[in-house]
Amino acid sequence: MFETLILMLDATMRVSTPLIFAALAGLYSERAGIVDIGLEGKILGSAFAAAAGAAVFGSAWIGLCFGILASVSLAMIHGFACITHRGDHIVSGVAINTIVAGLTVTLSMHWFGMGGQTPALSGDARFLDITFPFADALQDVPVIGAIYSNLLSGHNILVYLAFAMVPVTYWVVYKTRFGLRLRAVGENPHAVDTAGISVSFIRYRALIICGILCGLAGAYLSTAHNAGFLKDMSAGKGYMALAALIFGKWRPVPVLLACLLFGFLDAVAVRMQGVEIPGIGQVPVQAIEVLPYVLTVLLLAGFIGKAIGPKAIGRPYVKERA
Amino acid sequence: MSQAKVPTWVNIALIPILNILLAFLVSGLVILAIGENPIEAAGYLIYGALGYNEGIGYTLYYATNLIFTGLAVSVAFKGGLFNIGGEGQAYIGGLGVGLICLSLDHTMPFYVIAPLAVIGAAVFGAAWAYIPAYLQARRGSHIVITTIMFNFIASSLMVYLIVNWLKEDGRMAPNSRTFEESAWLPYLHELFSPLGIDIGDSPLNLAFIWALLCCVFVWGLIWHTRWGYQLRTLGTNPTAARYAGIDTAKVTIWAMLISGGLAGFVGLNEIMGVNHNLLLNFTAGYGFAGIAVALMGRNHPIGIIIAAILFGALYQGGAELNFEVPTITRDIVVVIQGLVILFSGALEHMFKDRIEGFFIRRAVA
């Protein structure tokens, strides 16, 4: 029983990683007042660019750079539409998701000709698992051994980075001047403007951070969690991250917990396939799969707590002219 | 700036055409970047979509789905609502059609099944839109997020229902049994052939006519009824609507019900018209494509028909293009679709303000 739990928590960490990156990405963007439906597209774009870069140059790190570059470029298109041209945030996000879904397959057909996939990555072209010191030696110690050697040790560096980004985000958003301004442009951009600070510049910087984090999420999918790019491999993770962001009420630590909960549900769903529970019978996998979405809808409906987003979210800022 | 001074043709023709040309230009650059000739590609595409009867039939068959989802998006848009859940509503609408066909096809003739299937599609699609609509209107949760969530919930629900309940016994394939012919919508080429007119073999069926009727219905509803006026008022200025005594919550809910019902009709075309069984993922992104269609069609039924035929032509032409130039898959059409959403939706102000400014200055001078 304990071992099963460790295994499921281990799976939870792996599945949650892209959700954590993407949900934190959304946190920066939405706290600055920019709705980001395009998380999905940025993850997919980065997953492709990272896998392509890693396949060509044989290095996961170079792949990661390409992934981040792709994702930040997409974030800048979003910014150009939403900030500079005061376009609708949701329409722009849908546009980005659609363009990326088509473009990744078109380009990978052209470059690799493998039916929309990239070549399988191995060795340095992937982020490999890191074994903590003494993990093997501690393996047999009861409880601690299982937690240290099996749960905490043996993930790739991006998993640890994702978890580390949570306190970093907390610090940036709540303890720095940039963070204060970031939250201010999301709540009351006029006040920020009055203080002589450029609303657009802050929002663009928020989107750059959003792009970098989505880039990490995508690179994780294609060069760490899997060994290559597959068509539509983001498979709704961006939307689930968005759900986690709302479920965590736009705050870093609750967002982390929401991501872990959703990741855990995913691990449970895999585990429960074909398992009979005494008294209930077989629980359909789909019933567990939809839980994150159902929970988010219930939360939004105000049945479990209340989700109140940043006040100025989704509204373009128009500077008053004489 | 006042709209009145800008000539109408600028708004309904010049700006949409400019946006679509820009989208084509960028797609052309993509095709150039992957080492193919965009002009040649466009040639194959146009020939494949419009060059022969069968191609035209396929184009209109794809356009049928796009008219339904485009209308669905635009009815919600008119009320200031962004229904991004057309995909899920179409999926569940198809379930309604499928259940009617599966339960009645052995006992009832076509003329009984067909109207019931239309009602089934509308009721199921509308029901799936009802919950997000209710939550938006009465509990203030954001409709975009809830409709996205409902797309995923619909997808899981359909997998569960088809795999566990509706699948044919003893088969692995995740789809229901094939309906009896009494539950098939007749193909248009079958209806035309007794008249001696050959329109080529294609999946184009009676649902296309129903789509055109829906356009007339939506046009009448939005521009010629009291409710349509309330809807447009709500979309233009919610505060004014409330001040004028319009029950905005009720209008919101009805707008989404109609929107969901229209999206549900995709099921008629796909399930009853072409596949003749209930299967997974038949919506194939039509719900999202409807956003591009509505944006390009400026939320007007005429515009939506034109935009749907254009995108239908891209879908069909894209298949032909892939056949002639194997390196260009139909995914390029998805790129074009995305670019249209970007240029005529998200970046609509980029040209619009300048062009309108130009015409206003000219009018004043």
In the structure encoding, which two tokens stand for residue B324, read together? 């002639």
Chain-chain contact of A293 with B341 (C-beta, under 8 angstroms): no
Query: B363 CA to chain A: closest CA distance, Å?
Result: 24
H or E segment and range at residue A241: helix A237-247
Task: For chain B, positions 20-59, list CB contacts with chain A under 8 A.
Answer: 30, 34-35
The minimum CA-CA distance between A21 and chain B, rounded to whole Å, is 20
The count of domains in chain B is 1
Mutate to test the interface with A, among B77, B342, B349, B353 (most CBs of A within 10 A): B342
Domain that residue B159 falls in: 53-308
Per the model's pLDDT, the better-predicted residue between A267 and A51 turns out to be A51
Query: Whole-angstrom Cα distance, residue B68 to residue B304?
Result: 9
Q: Which of B157, B327, B341 sits opposite A95 (nearest CB)?
A: B341
- Give the chain B residue whose CA is nearest to the CA of A283: B160
- Report whether B315 contacts B62 (CB < 8 A): yes
Cβ–Cβ contact B338 with A under 8 A? yes
List all residues 6 or more positions away from A1 whose beta carbon is below 8 Å from its beta carbon.
none
Whether A311 maps to a domain, the answer reads: no
How much is the pLDDT for A211? 96
Question: What is the least distance, in Å, from the CA of A218 to any CA of chain B?
Answer: 20
Q: Does residue A321 have a pLDDT over 60? A: no
Strand A276-277 to strand A155-156: parallel, antiparallel, or no bridges (unpaired)? Answer: unpaired
Model confidence pLDDT, tens digit, residues B261-285? 999 999 999 999 999 999 999 998 8
Report B:132-191 residues touching A (Cβ under 8 A): 135, 139-142, 144-146, 148-150, 152-153, 156-157, 159-160, 164
Please report the pLDDT score of residue B296 as a whole number: 86
Give the model confidence (pLDDT) of B167-216 as tens digits. 887 788 888 999 998 889 999 988 888 888 888 888 999 999 999 999 99
Instruction: Write the pLDDT tens digit of every residue in A184-195.
Output: 999 999 888 989
Residue A93 · residue A210 · CB < 8 Å: no
Which tens digit of pLDDT belongs to each residue from A219-278? 999 999 888 898 888 888 999 999 899 888 899 999 999 999 999 988 888 887 777 777
Distance between CA atoms of residues A107 and B34, nearest Å: 7
B67 vs B52, higher pLDDT: B67
Q: pLDDT per residue over B207-238, tens digit each? A: 999 999 999 999 999 999 999 999 999 999 99
Count of C-beta atoms within a 10 Å radius of residue B110: 16
- As a whole number, the mean pLDDT across chain B is 90
Residue whose tokens read 């963007």? A29
**Number of folded domains that form chain A:** 1
Q: Tell me the nearest-neighbour CA distance from A302 into chain B, angstroms.
A: 7
Residues in a beta bridge with B187: B205
CA distance A33 to A206: 10
User: Looking at the domain assignment, is residue B44 inside a domain?
Assistant: no
3-state secondary structure at position A276: strand
pLDDT of residue B323: 87
- The CA–CA distances, whole Å, from B207 to A138, A313, B91, B146, B288 equal 67, 40, 16, 29, 20
User: Who contacts B230 (Cβ-Cβ below 8 Å, separation ≥6)?
Assistant: B241, B246, B251
Q: How many A/B residue pairs have CB atoms within 8 Å?
A: 151
| Whole-structure pTM value | 0.91
Distance CA B290, CA A265 (A): 32
A216 alpha carbon, distance to own chain's centre: 8
| Integer Cα distance of A186 and A245 in angstroms | 15
- % residues pLDDT > 70 (chain B): 98
Q: Which comes out higher in pLDDT, residue A155 or A1?
A: A155
CB A193 within 8 A of CB A37: no
> Which residue among A92, A284, A296 places its CB closest to the CB of B342?
A92
Query: Which residues 6+ apart lie within 8 Å of B186 measured at CB?
Result: B205, B206
Q: Give the integer Cα–Cα distance in Å for A65 and B11.
A: 43
Chain A environment of B81 (Cβ under 8 Å): none
Contacts of A100 in chain B (CB under 8 A): 338
The Cα of B341 is separated from the nearest Cα of chain A by a number of Å equal to 5
Instruction: Indicate the pLDDT class of residue B4, thresholds 50, 70 and 90.
Output: low
Which of A93-97, A110-114, B75-79, B312-316 is the least confident region?
A110-114
Query: Which domain does A29 fall in, by range?
Result: 2-300
Q: What is the predicted pLDDT for the residue at A220?
A: 95
What is the model's pLDDT at position A322? Answer: 43
User: Tell me: the pLDDT tens digits for B33-57?
Assistant: 888 888 998 899 899 898 888 899 9
Q: Which two tokens stand for residue A160?
A: 């640890």
Q: Check residue A66 and give its pLDDT.
A: 96
Instruction: Tell me the ipTM for this assembly.
Output: 0.88
The helix (H) or strand (E) run that includes residue A247 is helix A237-247
Of A85, A103, A293, the CB nearest to B153: A293
- pLDDT over threshold 70, residue B1: no
Q: Which three-class secondary structure state does DSSP give residue A114?
A: strand
- CATH number assigned to the domain comprising residue A53: 1.10.3470
Is A102–B338 a contact, with Cβ atoms under 8 angstroms apart? yes
The CATH number that applies at residue B232 is 1.10.3470
Q: Label the pairing between strands A276-277 and A129-130.
A: unpaired
Nearest by CB to residue A109, choosing from B327, B337, B347, is B327
Which residue is associated with the tokens 């969530």? B149
Reading the block at residue A212, the tokens are 């970098």
Say if B315 falls within a structural domain. no
Kindly give the residue spans of alpha helices, DSSP state H, lying in chain B.
8-9, 15-33, 38-50, 53-78, 86-104, 110-139, 143-161, 188-192, 207-224, 226-236, 238-243, 248-264, 266-267, 286-296, 301-324, 331-341, 348-364
Residue A168 domain-assigned? yes
B260 found inside a domain = yes
The answer on pLDDT for A153 being more than 90 is: no
N- to C-terminal Cα separation, chain B: 15
**Is there a contact between B132 and B85 (Cβ–Cβ < 8 Å)?**
yes
